[in-house]
Structure 1
Amino acid sequence: MKHLSKILFATMLVLGITSVTAQDANNPWSVGIQTNAVDFHPTSDVGGTFDDYFNVGDHWNILPSMSRLTVGRYIGSGFVFELAGSVNQIEQYGAESVPQMAYYAIDGSFNYSLRALLNDGWLDPVVGIGGGYTSIADNGDYPISDLGAATLNGKFGLNFWFTDNVALTLESNYKHVFDVDGATHFQHAGGVKFMFGGTDSDGDGIYDKDDECPETPGLPEFNGCPDSDGDGIEDRMDACPNEAGLAEFDGCPDTDGDGIADPNDDCPEVAGLAELNGCPDADGDGVADNEDDCPNEAGPAENNGCPYEDMDGDGVLDKDDECPEVAGTAANNGCPEPDVEVISELNEYSKTVLFELNKATVTADSEEALQSIADIMNEYSNTIFHIEGHTDSTGSAEYNEKLSRERAASVEKWLEENGVPSNRLTSEGYGEERPIATNNTAAGRQDNRRVEISLDKNKEVKDSESSMEDDNQ
């Protein structure tokens, strides 16, 4: 007993700081190799129950070799069914020496582990109940001679787990023998138990039962699931499992440190703005530099981030300038407008435009003057010209108005046919209403029979007013 106590104390001292795994669903099978001792004294008529329970030297029958084998299978909820076979040699019957007798036993028991009550540490107390069959063979005249009887067994044991699969075992079994007085006894055993049978498909040291990723090697802190990039975020929760990142970005990196995760950052290596998907805007014009044709000059998005030019320097931006290469006026959409001198020149040519007598037909001699007029008009591609027809007071007013209108229209038609767009020409006849000289002299009447050209600046306004009048009708 003295030596057994020392061994037990030393084992507990060495293993006290180790937390390991006992037999459970992950390791359902166990095999035990033990030495057993049989003691009749505490249950005999000589001694009371548990009397001299630890009297190893006087009462224990010990076979100092591998004399007991056990096989266990985990059932569930802390229960294990164990089958044990043992041999021994009986030389002590209580305090009495007897001729040597062969002892054989086979036992089955349902064991329950109390380890969970001790916070799953290295110490694993076990209680059990079961039955078996014991045989003692001898020709002597003792109650235990030629014994072969069933037994009812109760057990208390301790397993000391010092690795995940190996434990030191100590146990004591009370074996009540039916129908044979004096044969009831204790059987003690001590040895080593090996646990096995758990499945670890991915070989990561975590059994499949507890492995949330049983087909992929992983880490204990993630219940067997991997963290491929080592960023402390398991792959299942990591939006970027192959790139180390930050928890705030679900495991994705932010290479440029602009607060936008790389997968959502159109410019992941250059710090930028959230509203531009992580790209910078050096000129602050709202157009990302990677899409800005002028990244250092502010400009509108519709012009690819570049400022609009004014090539002709007339104050009208090229985008609004209908004559971007020729300086003009804002009133004329950036195109030049004819001045008084130009109008005067047009009217000098118009004075030489002649018509057949009392007709609206332009004479052939007038075509050179008309061509000069057309050339001048085409220099002002955004200007609308108005052609006026006038007569003297000879004849009726109705006839004069009709003739002046037809002559103005005749000039308009010639200009249209010779390159001046029709949408830039208007014409009207005013008859004798607008004389520039007296009609009392031949010279005055000649001056009044004329064609004049003016600017029709109000044409768009007139068209607009006309539309409004139509809408109001």
Structure 2
Amino acid sequence: MKHLNSLLVAAILFMGIGVANAQDENNPWAFEIGVNAVDVFPVGLEDGQTENSPMRGEFFDEYFNVNDHWNILPSVSKIAVSRYVGSGFTFTAVGSINRIDKVGDVSVDDMSYYAADGEIRYSFRDLINGPGGWFDPSLGVGGGYTWVDDIGFGTANGLASIKIWFAENVALNLQSTYKHAFEDDYGVKHFQHSAGILFKFGGKDTDGDGIYDQNDECPETPGLPEFNGCPDTDGDGIEDRNDACPETAGLAEFNGCPDTDGDGIPDPQDDCPTVAGLAALNGCPDADGDGIADKDDECPNEAGPASNNGCPYEDRDGDGVLDKDDQCPDVAGTVANNGCPEVTVEVIKEINEYSKTILFDYDKATIRQESYGALQSIADIMKEYPNTVFHIEGHTDSRGSDAYNMKLSKERAASVMDYLTTIGMPANRLTSEGYGEERPVATNKTAAGRQQNRRVEISLNKNRDK
């Protein structure tokens, strides 16, 4: 137990030295526990020794003569702490104990053995197997200090080892180290062989995804090994940082976004993502091929211009003027009159045949009831010409003063206009004016002539835009 305590103290000392020199939480560490054997035979003959020397032989002579030459303490006799420093190199601090009871073929009294060593080794693991291989050979150099029965001396060390990795963090380490003593008088050249179980630890894994931060390109977000620790939330094989739609599984050709309708336009750029469409219409269909997306086309199955919301132009009244240009789309007209029927001389003549029968109370503008039928017929004819403005004229004979006749004619014309509006004629399609006795159509010298001059006439309003 005394020897084991001394070994632990030495190991802790070397561990502290290693941490102080290069502490880095993102670099892996390893702890090894095992046994060692000390062999002083195959280290080369000294001056004056012959090949038959029982204590030493030539280099590597009887190298594996375990029974005759190896000193083995049947207990844990080696501990080591290692730190990977990069590019295949590892630094190791080693503490070991043993009991020396044979030097070559010569038995000696039990002598105590303590050693504290530092090693730097290079691993050929990645060169032989690629990263993560199970076979891990190394070569290294180092130095240390050894005590044999309280006599200490420094050594220069050369070593070779083979690690066999059973798991990512557990390996069997088989090692042979040649220790060359600097003190000729009392230094002991020897080989130290060891076998131990090595446990690799250390390194920081902030996101807990099993990938150390130093190798994790997304160290704060759990991810996948194939993406160097970065996540693929939607599982589409495209890591989130390169995925334009990280929450929805998609295709690599669309930077991870889906194309639900399969029209070759990714959903984020597709105005109609569930219906296959055209690139020119941002992924929307155009069933009638008129260049207007169905969603904006009031007639999606009939081709039509955009100016008519995708519907074909119609000519409901068949007059040769399209409805879009036809001021009277439901009444046949002429092109010259913007699709509305034109008032002919015959029509005006017909209207005025009715207007001749319009009667007023004597010396008043009040229309007599027996005239209502004629006025209805006039309104019916006018309604057949929906874009025409009619002018109502009032006239008198020459009896009475000019002023009085002018006033009466204006009132009678206005009275006819007002009545026509009450039976459905738009007011904006009618004008009225009185002309008194200025426009006689017969002589005022006879009763028959004066009767003809007292009249209401209807004409076209020539001054009003159609």
Q: Is the 8 A contact 1:404 1:431 kept in 2?
A: yes
Structural RMSD (CA): 4.1
1:347 to 352, 358, 378: 352
- How far has the Cα of 1:172 moved from its partner? 1.9
1: CA distance, partners of 2:259 / 2:374 = 76
SS of equivalent residue, structure 1 residue 236: helix
Matches within 5 A, 1:8-407: 27-39=28-40, 42=44, 46=48, 52-56=58-62, 61-63=69-71, 68-74=77-83, 76-77=85-86, 78-92=89-103, 97-109=106-118, 111-115=119-123, 122-131=136-145, 133-135=146-148, 147-163=149-165, 164=168, 165-166=170-171, 168-174=173-179, 176=181, 181-198=185-202, 206-213=211-218, 216-220=222-226, 222-227=227-232, 232-241=237-246, 245-254=250-259, 256-268=261-273, 270-301=275-306, 305-318=310-323, 324-329=329-334, 334=339, 336=341, 338-356=343-361, 359-378=364-383, 380-393=385-398, 400-407=405-412
Change (3 A) 1:158 1:103: same
Who is 2:11 aligned against? Answer: none
1: CA distance, partners of 2:416 / 2:83 = 116
CA displacement 1:238-257 (0-9 Å, x = unmatched): 23457654433112243555
Which amino acid in 1 is paired with 2:103?
Q
Who is 1:6 aligned against? Answer: none
- How far has the Cα of 1:383 moved from its partner? 3.2
Which amino acid in 2 is paired with 1:276?
L
Identity %: 50
Q: Is the 8 A contact 2:27 2:83 kept in 1?
A: no
SS of equivalent residue, structure 2 residue 291: coil
- How far has the Cα of 1:32 moved from its partner? 4.8
TM-score between the two structures when normalised by the length of structure 1: 0.72
Q: Is the 8 A contact 1:33 1:66 kept in 2?
A: no
- How far has the Cα of 1:62 moved from its partner? 0.8
2: CA distance, partners of 1:400 / 1:228 = 96
2: CA distance, partners of 1:394 / 1:361 = 19
Which amino acid in 2 is paired with 1:181?
D
SS of equivalent residue, structure 1 residue 197: strand
2: CA distance, partners of 1:123 / 1:458 = 112
1: CA distance, partners of 2:30 / 2:128 = 19
Where does the alignment leave 5 or more consecutive residues of structure 2 unmatched?
Answer: 1-24, 51-55, 130-135
The 10-residue stretch of structure 1 (302-311 or 97-106) with the greater mean CA deviation from structure 2? 302-311
Q: Is the 8 A contact 1:150 1:177 kept in 2?
A: no
2: CA distance, partners of 1:228 / 1:359 = 94
CA displacement 1:45-82 (0-9 Å, x = unmatched): 6569x983322369984136767423213174545242
2: CA distance, partners of 1:162 / 1:79 = 16
- How far has the Cα of 1:451 moved from its partner? 1.2
CA displacement 1:420-460 (0-9 Å, x = unmatched): 33222101223444443345554334323321011225423
CA displacement 1:317-366 (0-9 Å, x = unmatched): 55565655444455666555554443223211211223455554444554
SS of equivalent residue, structure 2 residue 318: coil
Q: Is the 8 A contact 1:43 1:182 kept in 2?
A: no
The 10-residue stretch of structure 1 (427-436 or 113-122) with the greater mean CA deviation from structure 2? 113-122
